[in-house]
Structure 1
Amino acid sequence: MDRKLLATAICAALAWSLAATAVRAQEVASTEAKADDDATELDRVLVTGSRIPRAQLETASPVITITAEDIQRQGFRNVSDVLRAQPLATGAVQDNQYAGSFTSNATTISLLGLSPSFTLILMDGRPLADYPLLYNGQSNFTDLTSIPTAMVERIEILPGNQSSIYGSAAIAGVVNIILKKRLDGMQLDARVGGYSDGGGDNERLQLTGGKAWDNLDITYGLQYSHQDPIYMRQRDFTDTTDDNPNPGLRYGSRTFIILNGFTGQYDDPGAGCDNVAANFDGTTQRDFRPGRGFFCGSRAQPGYATLLNEEKGISAYFNSNYRMGDNANFYASVLYGKNEAKNDSGSRFWIPNYNDGTDGYIWNQTEQTLETYQHIFSPEEQGITNFTTDSTSYNIALGVNGTIADSNWDYDVYYSRSGYEVKSDQLWPLVDEMDAFFQEQFLGPQLGTYYGYPVYEPNKPAFYQSITPEQFRAFSGNLRNTSSTWTHNFNVQLTNPDLFQLPAGSVGVAGVFQLGYQHWDNPVDPGVSGDDYFGLSGTSGSGNRANRAVGVEFSIPLLKSLTASVSGRYDSYKNIRAGSDAKATYKLGLEFRPIDSLLLRANYATAFRAPDMGYVFTGGNGFFSSQTDYYKCETYGPNPDCPFEGLSLEGVQVANPDLKSITAKSYGFGFVWSPSDRYELRADYYNVRIEDEVLPQSFSRTLFDENECRQGRLDINSPTCVDALSRIQRGPLNANPLLSESVQLVTIKAINIAEEQISGITAGGSARFDWGRWGEFGFGLDYNLTLDHTTVTFPGDPETDLLSPQQALSAEFKSVLTGDISWQKGDWSANVHGIRYGSTPNYAAQFGVDTTPGTSQGRVGPHMLYNMSVSYDLTEKSALSLTVNNVLNTKPPFDPTYDGSQGFAPPFYNIFAYNGYGRAFWVQYRIDFGTNN
């Protein structure tokens, strides 16, 4: 199938259908005019972005709606995939492809290319508890993995600032996941599937249903799902280092090396590699690295990491509504889920004396030289070493709503609570025990020190031998943690869509009062904080905060065709035993309808993000960063070719209880044209500007400022110098320049310092046609184009253009286009869903590095995917369907600069923007036992 041809067909079909609307508009208007006398008033509904019930679904702000039917026919696996595929989700995020991250078993989204923490995720308009572990080891966010698709009725996405309605975090926008409320009967849904390239076999079983009595409605649901993992070795573009786009880097992972510290050359292992040739399924061999020499390595070693997690989960849902009288209803809702996920980041490894500040070097007494060793453990040696998380989540709401006496005032009073607990477990080597093992195996006893380096007389031939899984477990320990979050809220809401009359119509009002309390607890294993585990850092922290809010919203008809909306809200946050902050936000909107079928709209709003609990209450988040020690380069030299560049330095991020809220302003305008329920065209412009954005202090800037102070180019007593010097911990002077005054730890904290601005256009349209014996066809397009995205990290710094190949700091799609062609005739229905991802900065542009010869900083070209579904109604009550995701089995786009030259292993594509899963397929059977939905 020709991609350009299909994309052109979608565009042409939609353009033609919308043009045809103009021809039919007069006929449609005439038909509707005849029905005016018999028309009844439309039911009022609640739309995300407003608390006032209204007849119109479109308001002053654009709302994108994805129904349960859309999720099914467009071929998405889960809620996370649904949201990641929306045109507004332009930012790259960490997911299970990044098996070495802090949150590898969680998923999230980045609306408008902004931080995931700037998107407020709601369920039925109520907040969800944060994921207990920190995104990128820094900030709190909402996990989407635990939300079952079986219970979803629709998802509404509202971009831009919405804090005047919903409070904190609604800067990039709001995602409101609305669950099913009324079913009559029962429906059973079974699905099995897998991937054409192997791995990822999965099953899902869903049971939903409900029953209505005179005064009682209940709805329930159960979902079980299971998914096998996909390993990198199961994809021909991620299975070995031979996939590297740079031919000069196509050599194996260094599973056994001895590196001379003076010459920078490997000791040639000779026949030593024969002793370990069985490792990594027999792929270990004597290999050659240009500039270093021969070593024992496996080109298949990176392929033993997972691309897609192994997962197993069960969810249960219950919702009820009891009518206590004409003016009161009691409702209750419970969603409970348990999920187990496993991933493998690849093999563990050993270098000598990891924690003593010698960078793994020893003094070889026999050969009178400095050298280091590396042994990467194979699956045959270490066995199964998955990182496992057992997650439990729940969401509870209890409330009463109704009408006050015979007035126009409606009320809704509820209590909600949401919680998340994650238990993690992984087997990891212990530093001292592992060193002791290898001393016994080949190093021998330590014979003292030489200029700070431990002295040994190693038996080098004995180094080239494999160990057993029993030996690996003897010097390893199970790293276990239990982290949790919960949030609960008490909410009182009053609404009146007819407060009083103006000449143009009724004034509507809504008022809300909220009390809330949040808890976050992310302990760290004592072995991690005590450096017992090899090369491992972690996040930690614990805290509580209370919040209260009061808000009001008005809908004011200025003219018959012009309506204004005004909302304001005051939020106060008190961090227990830390700082406090409060913010007032507001929003103004205009809706102009010159004719019934055309809406012109505009809005202006302010928003905020309360100080992140991860930044305020962290107990010290450890990490490692590749940095240049400017002080040692200048003091100990030589320059250029400083030996203290590219060092792996340890940092710790500490709490900042004095953080203030991030603030934002946004505005937008656009139109919606809908001459009938079969045709719609819309477009909107958005602009969001963020101030006081929280970022951790710069690691590299801290090292740079310290050197300027030590060299006398900055006043040693200046605030900059006092701060930088206080946050860098160095070792003592040593006669050996390599060890003298080495950086031992750099302490940083988050501060309100950055600014960010983004603007763009979102547009779309849909049309449906009944073509008689050919069936009914539907066409749809949705598009987002980012026009501008800039940041200023420090006051006074030049503006950074994130869309420029020369300044990009992360991968972000400049545009995303989705299109649908649907068809239905009799018992048959089908849908083709296309997604075109625009260009992104290449690896060289994101990291500002020179990589593969002949390449440069630039952009990776567009990426297109197609999903297809076909369904056949076997009977009135049952249906069989086939769904194929990524029909053409399209691989992630090729980036010649993503070559691992900066120390990154395969896969050689941007895993934060694309996935390498390949073609997926599902066969699904549904049987209906009388349900009306």
Structure 2
Amino acid sequence: METASPVVTITSEDIQRQGFRNVSDVLRAQPLSTGAVQDNQFAGFTATATTISLLGLSPSFTLILLDGRPLADYPLLYNGQSNFTDLTSIPTAMVDRIDILPGNQSSIYGSAAIAGVVNIILKKRIDGIQLNARVGGYSDGGGDNERLQLTGGKQWDQLGITWGLQYSHQDPIYMHERDYTDTTDDNPNPDLRYGSRTFIILNGITGLYDDPGDRCDDVAHLFGGTTFKDFRPGRGDFCGSRAQPGYATLLNEEKGLSGYFNGSFALNATTDLYATVLVGRNKAKNDSGSRFWVPDYNGSHQNYVWNDTEQTLETYQRIFAPEEMPEEARFYEADSDSYSAAFGIKGALGESGWDYDAYYSRSGYEVTSDQLWPLVEPMEEFFRSQFMGPQLGTYYGYPVYAPDKDAMYQALTPEQFRAFSGNIHNVSRTWTQNLNVQVVNSNLFELPAGDVGMAAVLQAGNQFWDNPIDPRVQGGDFFGINGTSGRGKRESQALGLEFTVPLFQMLTADVALRYDRYRNVDAGSDSAPTYKVGLEFRPTDTLLLRGNVATAFRAPDMGYIFTGGNGFFSNETDFYKCEVDPDNCTLYTGISAEANQVGNPDLKSITADSYGLGIVWAPSPDFDLHADYYNVGIDDEVVPQSTTQTLFDENECRQGRLDINSARCQDALARVVRTAVNPGNPQLSENVDLIIVKGINIAEENVSGITAGGNWRFDAGRAGHFNLGLEYNLTLEHETRSSPDSPALDLFSSGQLLSAEFKSIVTGDVGWELGRWSANVHGVRYGSLPNYARQFTSDPADPYVTSNGVGPGTIRPWMLYNLSVDYDLTDNSTLSLIVNNVRNSRPPKDPSYDGSQGFAPPYYNIFAYNGYGRSLWLEYRIDFGAGD
């Protein structure tokens, strides 16, 4: 069962026993899944999708297969940049087992198998009908959910069919339903425990808020009656709500329906026809919290207007409460339709010893999304008519108004909000299809030490990605929102060979070679040969020493090649304005600069090398131990050009410190777009309007670590039968370089939230069976993480501290326990109680992550932890089947 490469296998019984909700939870709880990822807690680019990060590497570096066949990418881009595979659409009812092969596997599976391969195997044979019903929720409230699974099958002489249906529903969990995420009073810094500024008038000259007086009384009912006159140190009094951040969801509302069919028909004793179809529909809603308004958002006047009545510079902010917004404005709704199908023929080629498998497979994904969002001009017009009045001209470039401040402190109606908003409707889709022929001969010829085996694969296919965007979004018509778009198609062909060669009685070599070619339609093409050599040394029947060396690649990401524009905002320093206007440099530090990532059709494949060593000892069927070392090095990794470096280079070129005619300067100058010269007001002259970047093959990354574990099964007589299991992953090193000549960044000394990685993860199981009873406790220990303060220094001894006096350090480990208890009511029915996070452990807070960097609650790393809390389910299973 063990080969030159370690394989982690998770059976459907493991999923049931360990109490996981879905396939995503199963995979994220594995010790190999060390990296942080975006999920339901982040209302960003892919809030309705789930994925994993094996070995702490990008989700796009893990190849996820269904029955050994590729799944279509999720149509939206992960973090607005790269393609990835969504796990939400895979129903647990149909899963037979999941195999995880860590490390480079491209010589067998092709592109994207750098961090490893996850192969989800669906059930192929069921006799009779099985019903599984589950209902439950969370002890702290919210998230009530139900799941109904119905599976079945029948075998005849020549025909066999297996089928399944799954329905699931889940209510949302709101942040206000957890006492550690409900208000800004949870802030670890006492000096920052004030409300969100739902109504403010900021004086641009003094930097102070206008005292609202008793105007807050008029809006006190908003945010559930939590709006009041609050105080911010250094700014003054304002109308705000400390509960405002709690009106965002931690967990999505979801409904899912899946259907599965697998059939096989024996044409004769050696030939079978087969077909597999999996379809699913998932409806998800997530609430990212309130929308807001400021005048002239991100325009050339930096949000400020001249108050003609008071002869001063002002800006305004207005955060809309749930009571003011229609439901379609609060929720981002996404309907996802997916399918995966394969049709093939397999069998033996006469008496030749060759077996074959030829099939056509196709997988597709379509996401339809809708959300009501404020439009810039109608909303500006609404607030001009409500309290700003008509524009009275300009004053040194600033628009002049005589606002009626009393009129600002008035609640809106949902109808008024709807009147200045528009629906953003997008339909995005992907598909991938392949023709595949595989041949296998386990006895190609004989050597003195045994038979040489061979497998070969010939594959041809194409894939398509279409992620359109509402042209009004790209044109800036919607307020404070940008998006990603792109469309592309590419073709691929591959030829692969694999050999098993017994060199000696105790030594076997596994050799794999593969060549892949990609041609991007209307863009570049690329090819990649890969290989893998593994050695299996068995000095005894119970001991295996193994090692492997391999190469891998990631084909140029379609998101990076074909993107039609990925808009985002970045906090930057305008080096040029600081140099020409040094007295006001603080005005040009920490600016919110708009950037746009464009496609790069000249990208090449990311390449990787890896090697590993391991040992497996299994002295009996009931006891085994294993340990493996892995090392993966990645070259030519694609990263977007740095916006900070772009602004720095642009200034160096403008000042003559770099040759302005050089290619470097011409590139930087072309990618920084500035507003027009304003001789009357230097502060409004030549400000950064847009920074243009693209993905380039330049970064490097290296990760190494050790995995180990074991299992022990024993019979304790009258006390029952016990199963003990332990798995461990320790990442020894993980470094990245933004370019070959840049210093290495140790990710374990970085406080970057999204790239956070657990240095160690340990999982353990204690299982027990006695008569009709069985139980299992599954524990996970996530190791420590660097705190957010580490983001600002690579040296733990650096004197840097955050605003509440917290310096670089680490966040404590986090431990979770799942419990499942089963009782067999009859020979064919079981009642189960499942409790996840038995101790209701809260995510570890980061005292340095206090919101002073512009973040709102929750005050923990949402990419590494979840704040859902304890969940409980009651489940009933009955098997109407006959036979084994």
Range of TM-score over shorter length: over 0.9
Distance in structure 2 (CA, Å) of the matches to 1:81 and 1:845: 28
Distance in structure 1 (CA, Å) of the matches to 2:473 and 2:804: 40
Alpha carbons 1:801, 1:808 under 8 Å: kept: no
- Pick the aligned partner of 2:30 from 59, 63, 86: 86
- Pick the aligned partner of 2:3 from 56, 59, 73: 59
Match of 2:122 in 1: 179
Q: Are 1:912 and 2:857 matched, yes or no?
A: no
Alpha carbons 2:753, 2:861 under 8 Å: kept: no
Match of 2:306 in 1: 363
Q: Are 1:658 and 2:585 matched, yes or no?
A: no
Distance in structure 2 (CA, Å) of the matches to 1:631 and 1:355: 19
Distance in structure 2 (CA, Å) of the matches to 1:548 and 1:773: 60
Alpha carbons 2:751, 2:788 under 8 Å: kept: no
Deviation at 1:811, TM superposition (A): 1.0
Distance in structure 2 (CA, Å) of the matches to 1:308 and 1:213: 45
Match of 1:151 in 2: 94
Matched residue of 1:638: which SS? Answer: helix
Matched residue of 1:203: which SS? Answer: strand
Match of 1:134 in 2: 77
Number of residue pairs aligned between Structure 1 and Structure 2: 875
- Pick the aligned partner of 1:306 from 249, 254, 273: 249
Alpha carbons 1:805, 1:859 under 8 Å: kept: no
Match of 1:164 in 2: 107
- Pick the aligned partner of 1:102 from 42, 45, 59: 45
Deviation at 1:263, TM superposition (A): 1.0
Matched residue of 2:647: which SS? Answer: helix
Match of 1:54 in 2: none
Distance in structure 1 (CA, Å) of the matches to 2:87 and 2:682: 50
Distance in structure 2 (CA, Å) of the matches to 1:336 and 1:273: 52
Deviation at 1:852, TM superposition (A): 3.6
Alpha carbons 1:355, 1:531 under 8 Å: kept: no
Match of 2:826 in 1: 875
Deviation at 1:497, TM superposition (A): 0.4
Distance in structure 2 (CA, Å) of the matches to 1:900 and 1:144: 31
CA gap 1:301/1:855 in 2 versus in 1, 3 angstroms = same
Structure 2: which 5+ runs fail to align? 794-799
- TM-score normalised over the length of structure 1: 0.93
Deviation at 1:684, TM superposition (A): 0.2
Matched residue of 1:559: which SS? Answer: coil
Deviation by residue 1:817-846 (Cα, 9 ceiling, x = unmatched): 000000001100000000000011111113
CA gap 1:893/1:609 in 2 versus in 1, 3 angstroms = same
Matched residue of 1:540: which SS? Answer: strand
Match of 2:531 in 1: 586
Match of 1:900 in 2: 851
Match of 1:348 in 2: 291
Match of 1:68 in 2: 12
CA gap 1:507/1:345 in 2 versus in 1, 3 angstroms = same
Matched residue of 1:88: which SS? Answer: coil
Match of 1:837 in 2: 782
Deviation by residue 1:267-325 (Cα, 9 ceiling, x = unmatched): 00011111110000100000011111110000000000000000001000000011101
Distance in structure 1 (CA, Å) of the matches to 2:179 and 2:573: 36
Alpha carbons 1:809, 1:846 under 8 Å: kept: no
Deviation by residue 1:118-150 (Cα, 9 ceiling, x = unmatched): 000000000000000000000000000000000
- TM-score normalised over the length of structure 2: 0.98
- The 5 A counterparts of 1:32-51 are none
Deviation by residue 1:169-206 (Cα, 9 ceiling, x = unmatched): 00000000000001101100000000000000000000
Q: Are 1:851 and 2:802 matched, yes or no?
A: yes
- The 5 A counterparts of 1:597-636 are 597-636=542-581
Distance in structure 2 (CA, Å) of the matches to 1:574 and 1:404: 34
Deviation at 1:795, TM superposition (A): 2.3
Please, what is the CA RMSD of the aligned residues?
1.1
Match of 2:726 in 1: 781
Deviation at 1:714, TM superposition (A): 1.3
Q: Which amino acid aligns with 2:861?
A: N
Distance in structure 1 (CA, Å) of the matches to 2:583 and 2:431: 54
Alpha carbons 2:36, 2:754 under 8 Å: kept: no
Distance in structure 1 (CA, Å) of the matches to 2:78 and 2:292: 25
Deviation at 1:452, TM superposition (A): 2.0
Distance in structure 2 (CA, Å) of the matches to 1:330 and 1:808: 49
Distance in structure 2 (CA, Å) of the matches to 1:543 and 1:449: 46
Matched residue of 2:731: which SS? Answer: strand
Deviation at 1:805, TM superposition (A): 4.8
Q: Which amino acid aligns with 1:236?
A: D
Deviation at 1:806, TM superposition (A): 7.8
Alpha carbons 2:752, 2:788 under 8 Å: kept: no
Matched residue of 1:92: which SS? Answer: coil
Deviation at 1:334, TM superposition (A): 0.1
Distance in structure 2 (CA, Å) of the matches to 1:342 and 1:931: 41
Deviation by residue 1:47-85 (Cα, 9 ceiling, x = unmatched): xxxxxxxxxx21100000000010011010000000000
Deviation at 1:854, TM superposition (A): 2.4
Alpha carbons 1:770, 1:777 under 8 Å: kept: yes
Q: Are 1:246 and 2:189 matched, yes or no?
A: yes
Match of 1:206 in 2: 149
Match of 1:281 in 2: 224
Alpha carbons 1:273, 1:284 under 8 Å: kept: yes
Alpha carbons 2:751, 2:787 under 8 Å: kept: no
Alpha carbons 2:37, 2:754 under 8 Å: kept: no
Distance in structure 2 (CA, Å) of the matches to 1:275 and 1:137: 40
Matched residue of 2:818: which SS? Answer: strand
- The 5 A counterparts of 1:763-782 are 763-782=708-727
Match of 1:678 in 2: 622
CA gap 1:931/1:881 in 2 versus in 1, 3 angstroms = farther
Matched residue of 1:646: which SS? Answer: strand
Distance in structure 2 (CA, Å) of the matches to 1:250 and 1:383: 29
- Pick the aligned partner of 1:923 from 853, 858, 874: 874
Deviation at 1:109, TM superposition (A): 0.2
Deviation by residue 1:869-903 (Cα, 9 ceiling, x = unmatched): 00000000100000000000000012101101110
Q: Are 1:526 and 2:477 matched, yes or no?
A: no
Alpha carbons 1:810, 1:841 under 8 Å: kept: no
**Kindly, what percent of the aligned residue pairs are identical?**
70
Matched residue of 1:767: which SS? Answer: strand
Distance in structure 2 (CA, Å) of the matches to 1:452 and 1:756: 48
Q: Which amino acid aligns with 1:347?
A: S
Match of 2:797 in 1: none
Q: Are 1:474 and 2:419 matched, yes or no?
A: yes
Deviation at 1:911, TM superposition (A): 0.1
Deviation at 1:359, TM superposition (A): 2.0
Alpha carbons 1:835, 1:866 under 8 Å: kept: yes
Distance in structure 2 (CA, Å) of the matches to 1:462 and 1:810: 45
Q: Are 1:538 and 2:489 matched, yes or no?
A: no
Q: Which amino acid aligns with 2:126?
A: L
Distance in structure 2 (CA, Å) of the matches to 1:769 and 1:847: 51
Alpha carbons 2:219, 2:410 under 8 Å: kept: yes
Structure 1: which 5+ runs fail to align? 1-56
- Pick the aligned partner of 1:336 from 268, 275, 279: 279
Match of 2:592 in 1: 648
CA gap 1:506/1:337 in 2 versus in 1, 3 angstroms = same
Alpha carbons 2:40, 2:49 under 8 Å: kept: yes
CA gap 1:528/1:805 in 2 versus in 1, 3 angstroms = closer
- Pick the aligned partner of 1:437 from 363, 382, 389: 382
Match of 1:512 in 2: 457
Distance in structure 1 (CA, Å) of the matches to 2:746 and 2:755: 11
Match of 1:190 in 2: 133
Match of 1:409 in 2: 354
Alpha carbons 1:808, 1:841 under 8 Å: kept: no
Alpha carbons 1:506, 1:557 under 8 Å: kept: yes
Deviation at 1:360, TM superposition (A): 1.4
Deviation by residue 1:614-666 (Cα, 9 ceiling, x = unmatched): 00000011111111111111211226x62111111100000100000000000
CA gap 1:192/1:847 in 2 versus in 1, 3 angstroms = farther
Deviation by residue 1:312-360 (Cα, 9 ceiling, x = unmatched): 0100000001110122100000000000000011000111122532221
Distance in structure 2 (CA, Å) of the matches to 1:588 and 1:761: 20
Q: Which amino acid aligns with 2:293?
A: W
Match of 1:18 in 2: none
Deviation at 1:526, TM superposition (A): 1.1
